[in-house]
Copies of this chain bind each other. A is one copy, B any other.
Amino acid sequence: MLQFGRATSVAAWLFVAAGCTTTSAPIALEEMGSFHVGGRDVTISGRAVKEIVFSPGGVPAKVDPNGVYAVEQMYVQYFIPADRRGKVPLLLWHGGGLTGVSYETTPDGREGWLNWFLKKGWSVYNSDAVERGRSGWAMYPDIFPGEPVFLTKANPFERFRIGEGPGSWERKAVLPGNQFPMDAYDQFVKQAVPRWTTTDKPTIAAYTALVDKVCPCVIVVHSQAGLFGARVAEARPDKVKALVMVEPANGGSDGAKLRDVPVLAVYGDYIERDARWPKMRSIGYRYFDTIRQAGGSVDVVNLPQVGIRGNSHMVMMDRNSDQVAALIQKWLEEKGLYQ
């Protein structure tokens, strides 16, 4: 992937060590690692014992499905930069049907927001929500109510304001000026994972456990995680120093709790011409009003209104993702969260 020789690397490091980090420089980490947080034990009984051959030609093992299962835990990977400039860690919470991969390398191979904020000097905690990705998932309907939802390749194209809405996939009709890297659309859909619509409660519990473990912090949420971020910040307003809501699909339930938590909401382009997003944004707006009525502060940025055009729902993957990251960074600096 890279062709730098060792001499070049050492020179680069002397440069970095002198405090000259830029976002194109290498990444200097004090620490990196991962953990699972939250979850509970559930007992299953009354099932037949199975005999399973785990590897072809291998030795059969008796597997007793009765017993205690660890479920609803959440996976978190963290990166602590050597030169920390964010005053608190930044938590990245992805949207529905996806995982923390949303914030890693973009589908077209550019550095994503994880690297961007890390290189700016933020400690970054990137998680997979309960039942997504490395968090694992549990038996259904025994433990998770209902069935998982799988998305066709057409679905995000038509629903995430990349294409021109229902029916546009067949015509590959991209919204004019769209910033989503369509050449890498196939790479994007490989990131999708099945999801339930019945797991909000354990998901909020696990995110709350994460906040209790690693905060004070800033939380950046996307789409489905709008609800999770708002609810968890309402439950832990002392620990959430700022909440950045990127295209939130929903808000919280008691905005007054956020009167001391500054909120930034960012929306992309094409909302007015979409069938669902005007109402989804209005749900957000109503929530923000309840925060403001309690004396809180919410800044709403509709990107086209500040001259940033063409953003789909997947803002952190769009070709101008760095530009939007810089907008969030500037807001965090204004809130005194960066040194």
Give the B-binding residues of A (Cβ under 8 A). Answer: 1-2, 4, 6, 9-10, 12-14, 16-19, 26-36, 39, 41, 44, 52-59, 61-70, 73, 75, 77-78, 80, 82-84, 96, 99-101, 104-105, 109, 111-112, 115, 123, 128, 133-134, 136-139, 149-155, 159, 166, 186-187, 189-194, 197, 200, 214, 224, 226-227, 249-250, 276, 279-280, 283
Contacts and interface: CB of A to CB of B under 8 A. Distances in A.
A66 B154 CA distance: 10
A55 B150 contact: no
B34 A26 contact: no
Contacts of A35: 105, 109, 187
B10 A19 contact: yes
Contacts of A276: 59, 61
A78 B2 CA distance: 12
Contacts of A52: 149, 197
B65 A152 contact: yes
A111 B152 contact: no
A13 B82 contact: yes
A295 B68 CA distance: 49
A224 B54 contact: yes
Contacts of A133: 128, 133-134, 136
Tell me how many chains of this kind the complex includes: 2
A263 to B, nearest CB: 18
B154 A68 contact: yes
A64 to B, nearest CB: 7
B84 A34 contact: no
A2 B2 CA distance: 30
B59 A280 contact: yes
Contacts of A279: 59
A227 to B, nearest CB: 6
A187 B9 contact: no
A115 to B, nearest CB: 7
Contacts of A149: 52, 63
Contacts of A69: 150-153
A33 B111 contact: yes
Contact of A29 (B27, B70, B101): B27
B152 A67 contact: yes
Contacts of A30: 2, 4, 9, 12, 26-27
B227 A56 contact: yes
A188 to B, nearest CB: 9
Nearest to A159: B61
Contacts of A17: 10, 13-14, 16-17
Contacts of A57: 250, 283
A133 to B, nearest CB: 4
Q: Kindly name the residue among A100, A128, A133, A190 whose own CB sees the greatest number of chain B CB atoms within 10 A.
A: A190
B1 A55 contact: no
A226 to B, nearest CB: 8
Contact of A55 (B123, B136, B249): B249
